[in-house]
Amino acid sequence: MIQLQQVTQHYGVRPVLRRIDLTIETGELVAIIGPNGMGKSTLLAVMAGILSPQHGKVIIDGMERKSTVEHELAIRRRTVFLPDKPWLPKNRTGREFLMGVGRLYDIPDDGLIDHVERLLNVFELEKEGDWPIRSYSAGQQKKIALSSALVTRAPIMLLDEPFSGGLDPSGILALKHILKHQVQQERATIVMSTPVPELLEELANRIVVMRQGEVIAYDTPTGLRSLSQCTGPLDEVIARLVHPRTMENLEHYFQERPKC
């Protein structure tokens, strides 16, 4: 379980996150959604321990983040964070990189070798797995980065925009199914951010909607529909919550259009 209590995060003068209270249950896939620059990545980075909030705390499985060395190491062992733009070691092959990450998380070699093989297979990188990462296309790099998060078998995954970055349709399909499996079969807790809501209908248990550094809604897709009083597709529901005047403005625009 991930709990955020009154989290306020500043980089400079103005706060990027304001008094965020959030509880994410174990075995849930929660998506953070909102327009650009509203604090989605910052919220994930706070959960991941990259940032230290000026106020409030982050509690993961009952342990406060950065409270003691033992707690922080225990949290790091059960958490994996994948930023939207990771930096990959360009001279190592994809397979070496995945093995290195797996060993960092103390995954035994016998199971690790098999898991790496299956990940390379599912993301269609069997051949490229033995090439240096510098020779990969953007989409292939995204796949190997996603595989590195999956190879850790961490029960808590924090993924910043996992579906962006040049992932092809087969990669999107594979990732969708793996994430679903992780949540339903392995009881993993997944928090991911995305600027586009199309994929969330079938994936997310709950959705965090952010605007101006604040959580304006946190509910299931059905709950968000009743909150927004909109029965349309999820992107329209989100648009009504984030930009309540957008639809009104659009209606005005079409009504007031001069007839030719």
Partner 1 sequence: MLTAFFRWMRLVLPRGDAILLAIALIASFELIGALVLLLNSKVSPVDLQLARTFFLALTAFVYGIYRVNEFHPLAKPDYRRWLETTPWTWRNPLPGGPVLLVPQDVVVLALLMGLNRDFSFQTLYIPVAFLSFYLANLMAINWLLGEWQLAYSTGFGLGLGGLVFRRPDYLLLIDLACYLLTRIAVQRSFRNFPWDDSHQPCAPIEASKLKGDSANHRLGWPYDSLTPAKLRIGFRLHDAICFAVLLGWWHLTLLWGADERVRFLIIALPLIAYVGIPLLRVFPYFYMHRSPIDVWGRIANSWWVIPKFDCVWIAPLSALMLNFLLLGWASWYEWTVRFRYFEVTLPTDWRYAVSISLAPVGTTAVSLALFLIGPKLEHWRLTGQHRIVFQRSQEFTEL
Instruction: Report helix, strand or coil for 260.
Output: coil
Instruction: Report the C-alpha gap between 252 and 238 in whole angstroms.
Output: 20
Please list every residue from 188 through 247 that binds partner 1, using CB under 8 A.
none
Q: Kindly state the tokens that stand for 173.
A: 């399909």
260 binds partner 1 (CB under 8 A): no
The smaller minimum CB distance to partner 1, of residues 48 and 200, is found at 48
Min dist. Cβ of residue 231 to partner 1 (A): 38
The smaller minimum CB distance to partner 1, of residues 162 and 221, is found at 162
Residue 182 neighbours by CB distance under 10 Å: 20
Task: Determine the length of the chain.
Answer: 260
138 binds partner 1 (CB under 8 A): yes
Please list every residue from 25 through 64 that binds partner 1, using CB under 8 A.
48-52, 54
Q: Tell me the pairing of strands 156-160 and 79-82.
A: parallel
Among 67, 121, 170, 249, binds partner 1 (CB under 8 A): 67
Among 41, 141, 182, 193, binds partner 1 (CB under 8 A): 141
6 binds partner 1 (CB under 8 A): no
Min dist. Cβ of residue 163 to partner 1 (A): 14
Torsion of CA 167, 240, 231, 235, to 10 degrees: -10
The smaller minimum CB distance to partner 1, of residues 68 and 170, is found at 68
The smaller minimum CB distance to partner 1, of residues 109 and 201, is found at 109
Q: Kindly state the tokens that stand for 31.
A: 């998506």
Min dist. Cβ of residue 248 to partner 1 (A): 36
Instruction: Report the C-alpha gap between 193 and 224 in whole angstroms.
Output: 17
137 binds partner 1 (CB under 8 A): no
Binding residues for partner 1, total number by CB under 8 A:
46
Min dist. Cβ of residue 48 to partner 1 (A): 7
Residue 198: CA atoms inside 13 Å, Cβ hemisphere, count?
4
The smaller minimum CB distance to partner 1, of residues 71 and 176, is found at 71
DSSP secondary structure letter of residue 257: P
- Paired with 119 in beta bridges are none
Q: Quote the crossing angle between the two packed helices 246-255 and 234-242, to the nearest 10°.
A: 100
Q: Kindly state the tokens that stand for 15.
A: 């706060």
Please list every residue from 75 through 134 that binds partner 1, using CB under 8 A.
76-77, 81-83, 85-92, 96-97, 99-101, 103-106, 133-134
3-state secondary structure 227-251: HHCCCCCHHHHHHHHHCCCHHHHHH
Min dist. Cβ of residue 7 to partner 1 (A): 13
Instruction: Report the C-alpha gap between 104 and 30 in whole angstroms.
Output: 26
Give contact residues for partner 1 (rule: CB under 8 A): 10-13, 48-52, 54, 66-69, 72-73, 76-77, 81-83, 85-92, 96-97, 99-101, 103-106, 133-134, 138, 141-142, 145, 148, 165
